[in-house]
Structure 1
Amino acid sequence: MVDVSVIIPVYNASDYLEEAIGTILNQSMEDIEVICVDDGSEDNSLEILKKIAEKDSRVQYYHQENRGGGAARNVALPHATGKYIYFMDADDIVDSNALKECYDICEEKNLDFVLFRAMNYAEDTGEYFKTDDYSMDELYDFVGDRIFNFHDLGDLMFKVSVTPWCKLYNREFVMSTGAQFAEGLIFHDNIFFWDVFLSAERIFFYDKYLYTRRRHSASSTGAGDKRYISTITINNMIIQKFINHGLFEKYKKYLYDHKIYLIFHRYNTIQEQFRPYFYEHLKEDFSKMLDDERYEEFISIIVPNNKKRFEMVVNSEEFREFDLSLQNLQLSIRKNDLARKNKKLKKEVKRQENLLSRKPVSLFLKLKGK
């Protein structure tokens, strides 16, 4: 048994692969194995993997027809022998001490997994930047240096990043959950995350940035292509995970609202040419809800704007009608947001004016007291 098994799905990553794997092979922890699964790459990624494996016996590689990153990770899992498992993407960078530091923390605190922060790198501009999703400031402000699990978080659990590359997992624990990644879909890490997260009893937040995520147009979650409709299926699968864990009733309001929010977020970021295609699948999914036994409860507990979004999908006759209705709703929401901000600014201006008007009087009284 090695200390850490590193799993890397690979698809058309030839421009980044050597650098990414290099950040693993050059870790301060040497007792590792690297399990790469080439997911039917159309470039020379597989040849690069072969050359790397020839030079370093810690690297093993497998090849499959293109089935997606989720399937590649699932293929790798049974081959892992490490006490801990780390998942990495083939175009990203890991801090050279990440595995050693996380391993030591897991051993010291007897954790199911440890999570840490990640930085973003915009390849087009060369800019490094932070985002709420991967910094998780709100979560850390709450848990601090305490060991926790989802029971301690309430709705704050939905602020935990679902990405597998900002966590080091105890392998025995992961295998005991039976967790798998969704196959044939993007956003597949959600399904693995919720099975593991809802089963974990001992989690720790390591307050350090250890991972750099490369953001570029070729990535599956950044391309904005037809695959974005996966978000519909994935969100339904997430709801089912909560049902399986006996937690749906407690979190159903958030799950319903979160589903609608994420679906429309993906709709707004998908390439315009694919929006009619997205709409057709969305209408099919939402229309099924009309006949669901939970419909009345669902429509009564979601927030008003999500209710409007739902109704404009099921009531629209065709895409153009829906899209125009959505644009009007978004303009209305934007108008209300600006009105609230303007009201807040006016209050602040008035407060500052009142403070300034009192200062001369205060100064006079202070001088008079002397």
Structure 2
Amino acid sequence: MVKVSVVIPVYNVEDFLGECLDSIVNQTLEDIEIICVNDGSKDNSLNILNEYASKDNRFTIISQENGGHAAATNKGMSLAKGKYLFLMDSDDVLDVTALEKTYNLAEEKNADFVIFQAINYYMDKDEYVKAENYSMNGLADYVGDNVFNYKDIKDFIFKIAVTPWSKLYNNEFIKKAGAKFPEGLIFDDNVFFYEVLFNAKRIAFYREHLFKRRWYSSSSTTAGDKRFADTIEINNLIINVFIKYGLFDEFKDVLFNRKIKIVYMRFTKVKCEFKSYFYDKMKEDFESMLTDDIYDGFLDCLSFRNKSIFENVISSSSCKEFMLMMEIFHLNNRINNLNSENIYLKQLNKELLSSNSWKITKPLRKIRNLK
């Protein structure tokens, strides 16, 4: 049995694939298999894969019709024979020591999976950023070197990066959990993550940035295209996972607010030509929430902002009207903030003028004496 199976779904990434594969074939842990699933690429990706495979017998190349990231990853996972499983993105880069370091920790801790840190790389700016969402320093500080599970870190459940490429999984554990990616949707790693998290009994954290996450405009998670509406179904599937494991009542307030917040955030990032499509899907889903028993009393759980978003979606008759209503909402918020700031400054000014402090009033006395 090989130590680690690396699964790489590949679709039209000829510009980045070589760097990705180099970071895998040069791993200091050499006892690995590399399963690449070509998901109907139309560029030179398959030729690149075949070239690498011709030089390294650790490669297995599978080609299939385009079915999306989830379908390709699920296919690769079904073929994985290693003790551990690593799910790689074909446009990113893994530190060459990552598999060895996380494998050793997983063995030492008998972990169901190991979490490690990642760094953002913004291509347009050629800039590296250690952001908290992938660094997870709060979680790292809290758990230290201890083994933990979700019950130990309930305050951090929604602060862990859901990305599969920042984890090394015990392969047998994944198979027993039956965790798969929901096919036909983007943002699919959210559902997979919570399935895995709630099944895991032993999790370990490796505190080092071992993964370079590449951000660029044509990536599926930044493209802002029609698929962004998938976030609506993804959030519903996440809620279903919490229901499945009997955790819904405990976390429903957070789940309700996260759903409204994330769905609206994706709406703001979708391109103009797809906003009406997204709005129609959002309105349909929000209207269904009013009659679904799961959402009974959910309006009382929403923050002022999220409740306003929801009510504006429900009451608007078109995407244009909804956007205008949200523009008014944001302008009113800005006015209220300015008014609050004005009241604070007036009070501060009053306190300064009436103060008996010599240091504060001396400049004022000088001004008065000049008159």
TM-score, length-normalised on structure 2?
Answer: 0.91
Distance 1:114 1:347, change over 3 A: farther
1:322 aligns with 2:332: no
Distance 1:108 1:348, change over 3 A: farther
| Structure 2 letter corresponding to 1:210 | L
TM-score, length-normalised on structure 1?
Answer: 0.91
Counterpart of 2:46 in structure 1 is 46
Give how far 1:132 is off.
Answer: 2.1
Q: Matched residues, percent identical?
A: 48
Give how far 1:296 is off.
Answer: 3.9
Distance 1:332 1:34, change over 3 A: farther
1:58 aligns with 2:58: yes
After superposition, where does 1:216-255 map in structure 2 within 5 Å? 216-255=216-255
User: Which whole-Å CA distance do the structure 2 matches of 1:270 and 1:18 have between them?
Assistant: 30
Give how far 1:148 is off.
Answer: 1.3
User: Which whole-Å CA distance do the structure 2 matches of 1:277 and 1:131 have between them?
Assistant: 32
Deviations 1:212-266, CA, capped at 9 Å, x for gaps: 0110011100101111000000000000011111111111110010111100110
User: Which whole-Å CA distance do the structure 2 matches of 1:51 and 1:94 have between them?
Assistant: 20
Q: Is the partner of 1:192 in helix, strand or coil?
A: helix
Counterpart of 2:153 in structure 1 is 153
How large is the Cα RMSD of the aligned pairs?
2.5
Counterpart of 1:188 in structure 2 is 188
Give how far 1:291 is off.
Answer: 1.4
Counterpart of 1:300 in structure 2 is 300
Counterpart of 1:25 in structure 2 is 25
Deviations 1:23-74, CA, capped at 9 Å, x for gaps: 0100111000111101111101111111111110001111111111011000
Gaps of 5+ in 1: 361-370
Q: Is the partner of 2:297 in helix, strand or coil?
A: helix
Deviations 1:93-120, CA, capped at 9 Å, x for gaps: 1111000000000000111111111101
| Structure 1 letter corresponding to 2:120 | N
1:279 aligns with 2:279: yes
1:257 aligns with 2:248: no
| Structure 2 letter corresponding to 1:76 | G
After superposition, where does 1:1-370 map in structure 2 within 5 Å? 1-336=1-336
Q: Is the partner of 2:13 in helix, strand or coil?
A: coil
Deviations 1:178-233, CA, capped at 9 Å, x for gaps: 00001111101111111001111111111110000110011100101111000000
User: Which whole-Å CA distance do the structure 2 matches of 1:344 and 1:117 have between them?
Assistant: 41
Give how far 1:331 is off.
Answer: 2.9
Give how far 1:138 is off.
Answer: 2.2
Distance 1:325 1:49, change over 3 A: same
